[in-house]
A and B are shown apart, each in its own frame.
Chain A
């Protein structure tokens, strides 16, 4: 299972490295989102500093939806999904591999966006351990849930519009918990660890759901 996961993740990341869709389209999009938020909040530095954590995670979420869409668009053409089905790879491995590739891309994106909020919203990034740990957990949860819904919507003519509708309400707890951890940490408040539990539970539930359900869903896509 894990060997298959490494193979699939390697394939997706190699395609990304060669096509650079994430680097040249998704990342700039996410940064534009940060700039646009500043427009709506009237470039008010105090307000932006307070809202930085939430806006950061909304930008990550939007970019995450695009990354998941891209991850499944890779196999939409030329019967590539049939190839994947016939490859004899363990479906759970395919799931873990695709989720890992999405998570890897999101992690890089999050680094750039963190720089973005530091520069644009003058958020001072301290409490790095908590920030990184919560970001890792949230990214795993987002990637796992995204990959489950990515395969649910794969192969449908309307997947671009359907995926956000399916995914955004589902990942609401991740958005809430991750922004809370970041908000609390950036303002040096107490109680960030409690929110970590939600991130852990979410990640575990959706990793398990993906490992169990990906096979049957891949068959039908």
Chain B
């Protein structure tokens, strides 16, 4: 299953790259910049999907009837991928924004919310890293993840208002929807969404496997260390 996902995402991404770079036509307005269309929206979709999965996993962990280490591992695995893809979303968006809007960054509602989302989940990961006891870590981070996620709609609402009240559109905002995407472009776009989603699934399974191994190391590490120490100590102990 994992191998299938891996092969699928590699093939899909390669095809997306080929189609996106060589086969699809350049846009009339944006020219060749439009090729970012096959990267940026799908990367953003994976970031939101990953954070959504984390929030769901946090809820499932906190709900007493479904509490299991599985959800905790799923939450951290998905959050890590989400942070990487969220950072990529902001980076690709910036790269796209510079030539089309003329600025690296606009204080647009969606951008601001995404940036704060990244900050919230970086905090979530930082909290996980410094909590040692697995049980405490799971429960604390589940609460922190969920509370952080509850903040997202409030953040979004506030920045939307901030934007509409005080920031009239100063930069040119070419809407993605208005020049209708069709033909080879639509297919490439669809393919990029599917491939990036497969990539997410693949990374998620690997990362999950890592966290299973990590927790086994945490559990068995002490025993292994003790056994090694015993093995060292026995010969000299006999001599005394």
Q: What is the interface of chain A, defined by CB distance below 8 A to chain B? A: 148-149, 152-153, 156-158, 162, 165-166, 168-170, 172-173, 176-177, 180, 191, 194-195, 198, 201-202, 205-206, 209, 213, 216-217, 220-221
Pull 23 A–B residue pairs with CB atoms less than 8 Å apart, ordered by A: A152-B144, A153-B127, A158-B130, A162-B123, A162-B130, A166-B123, A166-B144, A169-B116, A169-B119, A169-B120, A169-B151, A170-B120, A170-B151, A180-B165, A191-B165, A194-B161, A194-B165, A198-B161, A209-B150, A213-B143, A217-B140, A220-B135, A221-B136
Q: Cβ of B143: which chain A residues have Cβ within 8 Å of it?
A: 152, 213, 216-217
Listed stretches B7-15, B152-160, B188-196, B218-226; interface member: B152-160
Which 9 pairs from chain A and chain B are nearest by CB?
Answer: A169-B119, A173-B158, A220-B136, A166-B123, A173-B154, A165-B123, A176-B158, A213-B143, A169-B120
Distance, CA A180 to CA B157, complexed state (A): 14
B154 & A166 in contact (Cβ 8 Å cutoff): no
Distance, CA A169 to CA B130, complexed state (A): 19
A152 & B162 in contact (Cβ 8 Å cutoff): no
Distance, CA A209 to CA B146, complexed state (A): 10
What is the size category of the interface that chain B forms with chain A? 20 to 34
Residue of A nearest to B136 (CB): A220
Q: Does B207 lie at the interface of the complex (its beta carbon under 8 Å from any beta carbon of A)?
A: no
B147 & A213 in contact (Cβ 8 Å cutoff): yes
User: Besides A169-B119, A194-B165, 4 other CB < 8 A contacts?
Assistant: A165-B123, A173-B158, A198-B158, A220-B136
Q: Cβ of A209: which chain B residues have Cβ within 8 Å of it?
A: 147, 150
List B173-219 residues whose CB lies under 8 Å from chain A. Answer: none
Known: A169-B120, A191-B165. A162 touches B147 (CB 8 A): no
Distance, CA A198 to CA B166, complexed state (A): 16
A216 & B139 in contact (Cβ 8 Å cutoff): yes
Q: Cβ of B166: which chain A residues have Cβ within 8 Å of it?
A: 180
Tell which of A162, A170, A195, A216 touches B148, judged by Cβ atoms closer than 8 Å. Answer: A170
Distance, CA A206 to CA B161, complexed state (A): 21
Q: Cβ of B120: which chain A residues have Cβ within 8 Å of it?
A: 169-170
Residue of B nearest to A156 (CB): B130
Min distance, Cβ B15 to any Cβ of chain A, angstroms = 37
Q: Cβ of A202: which chain B residues have Cβ within 8 Å of it?
A: 154
Q: Does B36 lie at the interface of the complex (its beta carbon under 8 Å from any beta carbon of A)?
A: no
B126 & A162 in contact (Cβ 8 Å cutoff): yes
Per-residue A-contact encoding for B107-126, CB less than 8 Å = 1, 0 else: 00000000010011011001
Min distance, Cβ B170 to any Cβ of chain A, angstroms = 18
Q: Does B66 lie at the interface of the complex (its beta carbon under 8 Å from any beta carbon of A)?
A: no
Q: Does B32 lie at the interface of the complex (its beta carbon under 8 Å from any beta carbon of A)?
A: no
**Highest count of chain B CB atoms <10 Å: which of A168, A170, A176, A213:** A170
Distance, CA A153 to CA B136, complexed state (A): 11
A220 & B140 in contact (Cβ 8 Å cutoff): yes
**Highest count of chain A CB atoms <10 Å: which of B119, B120, B151, B158:** B158
Q: Cβ of A176: which chain B residues have Cβ within 8 Å of it?
A: 158-159, 162
Q: Cβ of A213: which chain B residues have Cβ within 8 Å of it?
A: 143, 147
Distance, CA A10 to CA B84, complexed state (A): 45
Known: A169-B119, A213-B143, A220-B135. A162 touches B127 (CB 8 A): yes
Min distance, Cβ B167 to any Cβ of chain A, angstroms = 12
Residue of B nearest to A210 (CB): B147
Distance, CA A148 to CA B145, complexed state (A): 12
Min distance, Cβ A81 to any Cβ of chain B, angstroms = 13
Distance, CA A170 to CA B149, complexed state (A): 9
Min distance, Cβ B128 to any Cβ of chain A, angstroms = 11
Q: Cβ of A220: which chain B residues have Cβ within 8 Å of it?
A: 133, 135-136, 139-140
